[in-house]
Amino acid sequence: SFRTVKYLFSWQLLQLALYFIVPGKITSGRVMSSGRILFYQCNGLYCLLISNLLVIILSFFGFIDPVYFVNNILEFLVLSNLLGLVLTMTVYLKAVYYPNFQQDCYFSGSPLYDVYCGVEHS
């Protein structure tokens, strides 16, 4: 239903906004094959707490129906899987045709393996 789509995409937009708004410690990740180091903003726990508090507050004041998710769990699961599939294929095609750093890309020769393990994070 449209309401399920609205809830799911609103949730995704909220998570995206929180990632950019909530401050967090910058930590270094793995070293790529070219020697480049990836850096990540570690603010996930704060975003989780803010998200949960926001849902509780919005439910308490009647802006959202907390039972709706439970009653429509199958719709949310199907939509989430479709969104995950679209995101996976988008990121894979982006890595194949428009890589950020060509020297970090690794193609195994098997598109299925490349989709599963990633092309740009070798």
Q: What is the pLDDT of residue 121?
A: 66
pLDDT in tens, 23-73: 999 999 888 877 888 888 899 999 999 999 999 999 999 998 889 999 999
Give the sign of the dihedral formed by CA 81, CA 87, CA 92, CA 96.
Answer: positive
Bridge partners, 37 (sequence order) = 31
Rounded CA-CA distance 29/11 in Å is 27
CB contact at 8 A, 105 and 122: yes
Q: Which amino acid is at 81?
A: N
DSSP 63: S
Give the model confidence (pLDDT) of 75-85 as tens digits. Answer: 999 999 999 99
Which pTM does this prediction carry? 0.77
Identify whether the C-beta of residue 54 lies closer than 8 Å to the C-beta of residue 14. yes
